[in-house]
Structure 1
Amino acid sequence: MLTAIIYIRVSTDEQAQKGYSQRSQEEKLNKYCKDNHIEIVQTIFEDHSAKNFERPAWTAMMKHLNMNKSTRPQLILFTRWDRFSRNTANAYYTITQLQKLGIEPQATDQPLDMSIPENKVLLEMYIVTAEVENDRRSLNIKQGIHKAKKEGRYMGRAPIGYLNISLPDGTKTIVPREPEATLIKKAFEEFDENTSVRSYYKIVLKTGLK
């Protein structure tokens, strides 16, 4: 009978934005193993991004596999390739490392026979799609922040001397907070470039700014 580690990964953002669930992944993987007569030797849960393999649970698993040859499974199973990785280069490197240990990584919903060269194209498509999605999300966030600033909205934490507020229409912005605002303004107006920042900082603290 084949043996397998089942790997269940979902980041906090994915749970919030897409409703990904560790439970649904576990149910699918358990059923797959039961239907295919595969013995589950370990179930690993990971709450971390798949941008790279510097993940706590994955790192601990790899350390154990490298140190314990006799207990290595034949398979590491996950539901989809984006659960495994969202970075093409990292994915290929890690697949090679696992194969050297005699372990085959496999997505139960997107099965690929890695001995068939053409399947590498499919693998790349699965992972690149997830990688592009990550890049697009990051770009959208940056563009959203830039647009908000141009519109006079302040999305981040207010700097010293200001306070975060939401206007009646829901717009997020900042307003001066006293007495810090006046003290900050005065500090900038009276700044002397011939004075070191450290010594001027001490002077400003004496005005009452915390």
Structure 2
Amino acid sequence: MQIADLYIRVSTDEQADKGYSQRDQHERLERYCNQNLITIAQVIFEDHSAKNFNRPEWTKYINHIKKRSLKSNLILFTKWDRFSRNAGDAYQMIKLLLSNNISPQAIEQPLDMSIPENKMMLAIYLAAPEVENDRRALNTFYGMRRAQKEGRLMGTASYGYVNKCTEDGRKYVGLKEPEASNMLWAFNEISKSKYALNQIRLKMNAREGANISSTSFYRAIKNPMYCGKIFIKAYKDEEACLVEATHESLISESLFNKVQKVIS
């Protein structure tokens, strides 16, 4: 008698980007079990990425397996990318499941594990999602690097600036008061070489709208974005460089360089 646990996984990003549905997966798995006279023991819903197996519900499931508290002999999911998007981790997990007499199976990509040649198909099913993840990450990296080379600040705006959006949806950063005036005051004070950096930070935090940690403060005064420059890290055969930014600068380049000499 076949008794199956149904594993239904969809991450928040996948549901937003591709329209994956837990309900749709559940219906397909139930239909498959009814057609093949498979008894359903439990249904496991997971809202987590498949980059690894550090998932809350999956961890609970493995703990039950190790305690020998399950009656099931199958774990079913719709496709292999619902099980894992990391080929190396997937092979180890499949081995663990089989050693506990539980057979993993994707109902839309079925494989008979007793046939050696099917291991090649399994490798393709497991590797394809991982390649897709890596390609998406690489495209994101290149896109952000290209935007930086064009002078655009990426990510959350630094202290003294704020992320904004134009009416047509274009994102940019602009000065934010009174934080911008606080940073301008701090740069000018540092350039005078009269007080230690932390003293200046504490004095600045006493001003209106200022509350910045020592780590954030030190990182900020070394950031060339305040003088209208963006630092591009070295990558492969490309050397590190500074490019002109599109946002409004807070201080002059000469003041920024003077401050760097003081803090060095």
TM-score, structure 1 normalization:
0.92
CA-atom RMSD in angstroms: 1.9
Offset, 1:27:
0.7
Q: Across the two proteins, how many residue pairs are aligned to each other?
A: 209
Q: How does 1:23-62 map to 2 (within 5 A)?
A: 23-62=23-62
| Contact 2:78/2:106 (8 A) holds in 1 | yes
Alignment partner, residue 17 of structure 2? 17
Asked whether 1:111 is paired with 2:110, we answer: yes
Change in Cα spacing, 1:116 to 1:197, as seen in structure 2 (3 Å) is: farther
Alignment partner, residue 87 of structure 1? 86
Change in Cα spacing, 1:194 to 1:97, as seen in structure 2 (3 Å) is: farther
| Contact 1:8/1:83 (8 A) holds in 2 | yes
Change in Cα spacing, 1:120 to 1:189, as seen in structure 2 (3 Å) is: farther
| Contact 1:9/1:22 (8 A) holds in 2 | yes
Distance in structure 1 (CA, Å) of the matches to 2:195 and 2:127: 52
Distance in structure 2 (CA, Å) of the matches to 1:4 and 1:90: 22
Offset, 1:64:
1.3
Offset, 1:116:
1.5
- The percentage of counterpart residues that share the same residue type is 51
| Contact 2:186/2:201 (8 A) holds in 1 | no
Alignment partner, residue 252 of structure 2? none
Change in Cα spacing, 1:195 to 1:128, as seen in structure 2 (3 Å) is: farther
Asked whether 1:74 is paired with 2:103, we answer: no
Distance in structure 2 (CA, Å) of the matches to 1:61 and 1:110: 22
TM-score, structure 2 normalization:
0.74
Q: Counterpart of 2:84 in structure 1: which amino acid?
A: S
SS in structure 1 opposite 2:104? strand
Distance in structure 1 (CA, Å) of the matches to 2:103 and 2:53: 17
Change in Cα spacing, 1:29 to 1:194, as seen in structure 2 (3 Å) is: farther
Gapped runs of 5+ residues in structure 1?
A: none
Task: Mark the structure with the bigger radius of gyration.
Answer: 2
Change in Cα spacing, 1:84 to 1:196, as seen in structure 2 (3 Å) is: farther
